[in-house]
Amino acid sequence: MNRQRLSLWWFIGTLLFALLSMLVPLPAPLEPFKPYWLALVLLYWALESEDRVSLGLAFLLGLGADLFDGVLLGEQALRLTALVFIALRFRSRLRFFPMWQQTLAVLALLLNDRILLLVVRVLSGSPVPPASWWISPFVGAALWPFLFLLLDDLRARLRIQ
Amino acid sequence: MARSRDESSPLFAGNAAGTLRLISYLALAMVLMVLDHRNGWLWRVRYAASAVVEPVYRLANLPGAGMRTLTVAFADRKLLTEQNQRLREDLLLANARLNRMAAVAEQNQRLKELLDTQHSLELNVQLARVVGVDLGAWQQRLVINLGARDGVKPGQPVIDAHGVIGQVVEVLPTTAVVMLVTDPAHAIPVVVERSGLRTVAYGARDGSGMVLPNIPLAADVRPGDKLLTSGLGGRFPPGFPVGKVESVGLGASGMFRAAQVQPAADIDRSEDVLLLHDQAEPAGPPTPAAPSGPPTGLAPAPGAAAGGMPAAAASAGNPPSAPTPARTAGTAPAPAGGAR
């Protein structure tokens, strides 16, 4: 019982931490390299414990992120819902991919996310962002193996589901 | 770990229920986006949720603030001494200039009193700190640590030591969001200091600075020209530096010339900013002075007023007996017009 509660808190904690790290500013030259932490952590949980991650959770998390960013209510909710849907759909295959293949899949997911964002932005009348805007998914994919191993290792150490 | 596959994670094909749920969530998100885009009520939700949002902003600010503290704590003693020395020299220079300006300002004040103009050179400002929060990539916005409780209102200009930074767009109870002059949605009326040409500076669409998209072909604008706020439009008080023209070229349409402008303010590096409190003079023509013409008794009342007021003329019957009521009717609107 206690272990279960701990694992639930661990789950919530990592997601909140990811939400917060989206808000922490980086030095200006590093700004385009900022990965979409929230998507990465949510993806990890979608692959590792699907019974906790659902489309509704992704939607609510995205709404929370929109509330903090103050951009357009529903933008990240849309992106995260689409992301989690694809991840859950191909979960069984993604889980047993070797790491490099999984990384490529994550890259594809993050690029898809950027394209969605671009569509939303352009439809809402914002200018088309510069080329450096496309760096972020690659940084996210490059960080994926480390994030995955780190979270997996921590979970094993804490002996939680 | 071996787990038996269950219905919820099929290996290949998905189930229709999942797709349906996806579609409904996506539709909900789109409805939210459209509503928000049309009405902008996200800020009302945000204001209500500020009890949660603001502490999170403070929390997100901690790493940046910690880094600054660490930089100071571990900074070289020599470096600090040098910095201190430089600041002291700057202060000395600034004070010397101020002392010289004081006499000029006083003279200016006297002259202005003679000319009977209202605005003064004094600044009513409030110091605000920038809260280090990243509001999404390519958002040309800042969060400052003053809000509605400190009397901040939307539309207040924000400046730093070098020039205009932007204006307050949204106010939460203890924080406020500032739109920078480099935001593509921002426009600021400017005047070229050298030639007096008035134009409007917009944020560049790629977020790199500002642009003057419509300078007449014959106008005199050169690289290196300084831009000041012109005070037109009534939002920014006149005379604050806005930026410097970097390059001038032919615009996309070929009908105008366009200039790239480097903002004067340290937009990326400012930690402390100033909020201007005295709003500029309201837009529009000045209120007309009280009528000080000849006394109304001398006005050519009956004949002239009859055309303008058919009702009065119709009720008056015969013209010779009309003067008294017509005159009072004719003078009554004048004070009302003056007060408007």
* Residue B286 belongs to some domain of the structure: no
A113 in reach of chain B (CB within 8 A): no
* Residue B264 belongs to some domain of the structure: yes
How far away is chain A from the Cα of B269, in angstroms, using its nearest Cα?
9
B57 in reach of chain A (CB within 8 A): yes
Contact call for residues B211 and B204 (beta carbons, < 8 A): yes
B40 in reach of chain A (CB within 8 A): no
Q: Does residue B55 sit in helix, strand or coil?
A: helix
Q: Give residue for tokens 């509001």.
A: B135
A73 and B45 within 8 Å at the Cβ level: the answer is: yes
- Tell me which chain B residue has its CA closest to the CA of residue A32: B137
Q: How far apart are CA B170 and CA B175, in angstroms?
A: 9
φ/ψ of residue B76, rounded to 5: -65, 140
Say if residue B117 is exposed, middle or buried (CB neighbours under 10 Å; 0-12, 13-18, 19+). exposed
DSSP 8-state symbol, B11: S
B45 and A56 within 8 Å at the Cβ level: the answer is: no
Q: Give residue for tokens 């949204």.
A: B170
A111 in reach of chain B (CB within 8 A): no
φ/ψ of residue B73, rounded to 5: -65, -40
B38 in reach of chain A (CB within 8 A): no
> Which regions in chain A score pLDDT beneath 70?
1, 161
A74 and B63 within 8 Å at the Cβ level: the answer is: no
Q: B271 and B131 in one domain?
A: yes
Q: B143 and B248 in one domain?
A: yes
How far away is chain B from the Cα of A19, in angstroms, using its nearest Cα?
10
B205 in reach of chain A (CB within 8 A): yes
Q: Between A31, A66, A82, which is nearest B137 by CB?
A: A31
B51 in reach of chain A (CB within 8 A): no
Mark which of B227, B242, B276 sits at the end of a domain.
B276
Mark which of B249, B276, B303 sits at the end of a domain.
B276
Angle between helices A135-158 and A99-123 (to 10 degrees): 130
B134 and A70 within 8 Å at the Cβ level: the answer is: no
* Interface test with chain A among B12, B37, B271, by most A beta carbons within 10 Å: B37
Average pLDDT, chain A: 86
B139 and A127 within 8 Å at the Cβ level: the answer is: no
* Residue B80 belongs to some domain of the structure: no
B59 in reach of chain A (CB within 8 A): yes
For chain A, how long is the longest CA-to-CA vector?
51
CA-based end-to-end distance of chain B? 81
Contact call for residues B236 and B275 (beta carbons, < 8 A): no
Q: How far apart are CA A46 and CA A11, in angstroms?
A: 11
Cα separation values, B282 from A54, A119, B234, B236, Å: 53, 40, 5, 11
Q: Between B32, B37, B59, which is nearest A20 by CB?
A: B59
* Residue B232 belongs to some domain of the structure: yes
The residue count for chain A = 161
CATH code of the domain covering residue B196: 2.40.10.350
> pLDDT tens track of chain B, all 340 residues?
444 444 454 554 556 777 888 888 889 888 888 888 887 676 777 778 777 788 888 888 888 888 888 887 887 788 888 989 999 999 998 888 888 888 888 888 777 777 765 555 566 788 888 887 777 656 678 888 888 888 888 888 998 888 899 999 888 888 888 888 888 888 999 999 888 889 999 988 776 789 888 888 888 888 999 999 888 887 888 888 899 999 998 888 888 888 999 998 887 777 788 888 865 455 555 556 555 555 556 655 554 444 444 444 444 444 444 444 444 443 333 333 333 3
> Among B133, B158, B124, B122, which residue's Cα sits nearest to residue B272?
B158
Q: B35 and B131 in one domain?
A: no
Q: What pLDDT, on a 0 to 100 scale, did the predictor assign at position B338?
A: 37
* Residue B230 belongs to some domain of the structure: yes
* Residue B271 belongs to some domain of the structure: yes
* Residue B207 belongs to some domain of the structure: yes
Task: Note down the domain range covering B19.
Answer: 11-39
For B:230-259, CB contacts with A below 8 A are: none
Q: What pLDDT, on a 0 to 100 scale, did the predictor assign at position B325?
A: 41
Q: B138 and B272 in one domain?
A: yes
Q: Does residue B36 sit in helix, strand or coil?
A: helix
B53 and A22 within 8 Å at the Cβ level: the answer is: no
DSSP string, A3-53: HHHHHHHHHHHHHHHHHHHHHSPPPGGGGGG---HHHHHHHHHHHH-TTT-
Q: B35 and B174 in one domain?
A: no
Q: What pLDDT, on a 0 to 100 scale, did the predictor assign at position B20?
A: 86
The residue type of B189 is P
* Residue B178 belongs to some domain of the structure: yes
B31 and A74 within 8 Å at the Cβ level: the answer is: yes
Q: Token pair for residue B149? A: 């409780």
A89 in reach of chain B (CB within 8 A): yes
Mark which of B224, B249, B276 sits at the end of a domain.
B276
DSSP string, A63-106: HHHHHHHTS-TTHHHHHHHHHHHHHHHTHHHHHTS-HHHHHHHH
Predicted TM-score (pTM) of this structure:
0.68
Q: What pLDDT, on a 0 to 100 scale, did the predictor assign at position A141?
A: 92
Q: Give residue for tokens 């990890």.
A: A44
> Among B146, B111, B102, B136, which residue's Cα sits nearest to residue B274?
B146
Q: What pLDDT, on a 0 to 100 scale, did the predictor assign at position A144?
A: 92
Q: Does residue B3 sit in helix, strand or coil?
A: coil
Sign of CA dihedral A115, A132, B262, B161: positive
A22 in reach of chain B (CB within 8 A): yes
Cα separation values, B64 from A90, A124, B132, B265, B269, Å: 39, 32, 6, 21, 12
Contact call for residues B277 and B146 (beta carbons, < 8 A): no
The residue count for chain B = 340
φ/ψ of residue B249, rounded to 5: -145, 180
Number of domains in chain B: 2
Say if residue A126 is exposed, middle or buried (CB neighbours under 10 Å; 0-12, 13-18, 19+). middle
- Tell me which chain B residue has its CA closest to the CA of residue A33: B137
